[in-house]
């Protein structure tokens, strides 16, 4: 399996099982052997599994990611905020895998990722949101909460909750994957539940063995503030909004929606944001 590593250190990587332990065997650019032992349990208890670590610059990465989503796998990939775990939002089995891998309580909702405004309006009820408003927020680090449309019919996707958080990340790779996949992608942060969100793939190495592939976009940002992830705002009602999570773009988001005559409200929300990217 060909892999592009940061700085070109490793050109190829394979995994061997030797007397109960796994070793990473590769080749340095100067042709000398390279190896690093992977301790038992380092990859989430599945040290004998072959994990695909794929650079997003790989020409086949988008198609690989879409194929894995189509086959019901959970993958990890970068966004414009933090790394995320992703699967098909309309696949009941895949959603259950996602929750199991993250160790997430089934009553805590996840958001979905789409590529474009038309997708947002198809999977969510957003006719009351002007295009001009959406264009000033998206693509970007904002999750817009609206009511689900009838097309989003997976009973395991946020059961008992009539709303859905929808993301259009300002990150070309995940949007290209979404276009290639053609269906909404369930998305949550790539970390165990209650742990901090992650800015590079090594920070969630304990999950690798449970994933179909890890798509490596390198380090995401240089500041810890980026771990705050996306701003989550409930725009399900015309003329009002509720800021559910401040995230990284709260002030800009509030300023935009208020210019379009959406004003804050104290109404409750059924959207728990813990784990939404």
Percent helix, strand and coil across the chain, each to the nearest 5: 25, 25, 50
Alpha-carbon span 253 to 101, nearest angstrom? 32
Residue-averaged pLDDT of the chain: 82
Going by pLDDT thresholds of 50, 70 and 90, the confidence category of residue 98 is very high
186 inside domain: yes
Q: Put residue 212 in one of left, alpha, beta given phi > 0 → left and psi -120 to 50 → alpha.
A: alpha
Predicted confidence at residue 52, as pLDDT, reads 85
User: Is pLDDT at 166 greater than 50 in this prediction?
Assistant: yes
Predicted confidence at residue 32, as pLDDT, reads 30
Going by pLDDT thresholds of 50, 70 and 90, the confidence category of residue 275 is low
5 inside domain: no
**Crossing angle for the helix pair 61-70 and 172-181, nearest 10 degrees?**
50
218 inside domain: yes
User: Is pLDDT at 108 greater than 50 in this prediction?
Assistant: yes
Predicted confidence at residue 110, as pLDDT, reads 96
Q: Quick one: DSSP state of residue 133? A: H
Q: Three-state SS for 109?
A: coil
Share of the chain above pLDDT 70, in %: 78
31 inside domain: no
User: Is pLDDT at 16 greater than 80 in this prediction?
Assistant: no
- As given in the structure block, the two tokens for residue 173 are 């790779």
The boundaries of the domain holding residue 141 are: 52-264
Alpha-carbon span 77 to 84, nearest angstrom? 6
Going by pLDDT thresholds of 50, 70 and 90, the confidence category of residue 81 is very high
**How many domains would you assign to the chain?**
1
Alpha-carbon span 122 to 150, nearest angstrom? 9
172 inside domain: yes
Residue-wise pLDDT for 28-52, tens only, equals 223 332 222 223 333 444 443 456 8
Q: How far is CA 218 from the centre of its chain?
A: 15
Query: CB of 107 within 8 A of CB of 271?
Result: no
Residue-wise pLDDT for 178-198, tens only, equals 999 999 999 999 999 999 999
User: Is pLDDT at 65 greater than 60 in this prediction?
Assistant: yes
256 inside domain: yes
61 inside domain: yes
Q: How far is CA 42 from the centre of its chain?
A: 22
List the CATH number of the domain containing 189. 3.90.870.10
260 inside domain: yes
CA dist 92 → 75, 124, 262 (Å): 16, 19, 35
pTM: 0.78
């Amino acid at each position: 399996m060909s892999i592009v590593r940061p700085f070109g250190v490793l050109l190829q990587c394979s995994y061997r099982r030797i007397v109960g332990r796994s070793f990473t065997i590769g080749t340095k650019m100067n042709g000398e052997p390279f190896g690093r032992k992977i301790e038992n349990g380092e990859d989430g208890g599945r040290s004998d599994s072959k994990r695909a670590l794929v650079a997003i610059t790989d020409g086949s990465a988008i198609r690989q990611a879409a194929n894995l989503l189509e086959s019901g796998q959970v993958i990890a990939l970068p966004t414009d905020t933090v790394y995320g775990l992703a699967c098909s939002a309309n696949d009941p089995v895949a959603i259950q895998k996602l929750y199991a891998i993250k160790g997430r309580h089934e009553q805590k909702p996840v958001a979905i990722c789409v590529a474009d405004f038309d997708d947002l309006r198809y999977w969510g009820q957003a006719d009351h949101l002007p295009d001009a408003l959406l264009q000033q927020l998206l693509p970007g680090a904002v999750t817009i909460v609206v009511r689900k449309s009838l097309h989003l019919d997976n009973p395991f996707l946020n059961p008992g909750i009539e709303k859905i958080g929808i993301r259009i990340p300002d990150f070309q790779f995940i949007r290209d994957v979404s276009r290639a996949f053609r269906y909404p992608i369930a998305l949550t942060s790539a970390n165990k539940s209650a742990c901090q969100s992650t800015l590079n793939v090594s920070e969630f190495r304990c999950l690798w063995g449970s994933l179909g592939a890890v798509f490596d976009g390198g380090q995401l940002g240089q500041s810890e503030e980026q771990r705050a992830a996306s701003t989550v705002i409930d725009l399900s009602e015309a003329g009002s909004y509720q800021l559910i999570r401040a995230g990284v773009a709260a002030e800009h988001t509030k300023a935009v929606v208020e210019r379009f005559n959406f004003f804050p409200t104290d109404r409750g929300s059924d959207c728990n944001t813990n784990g939404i990217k």
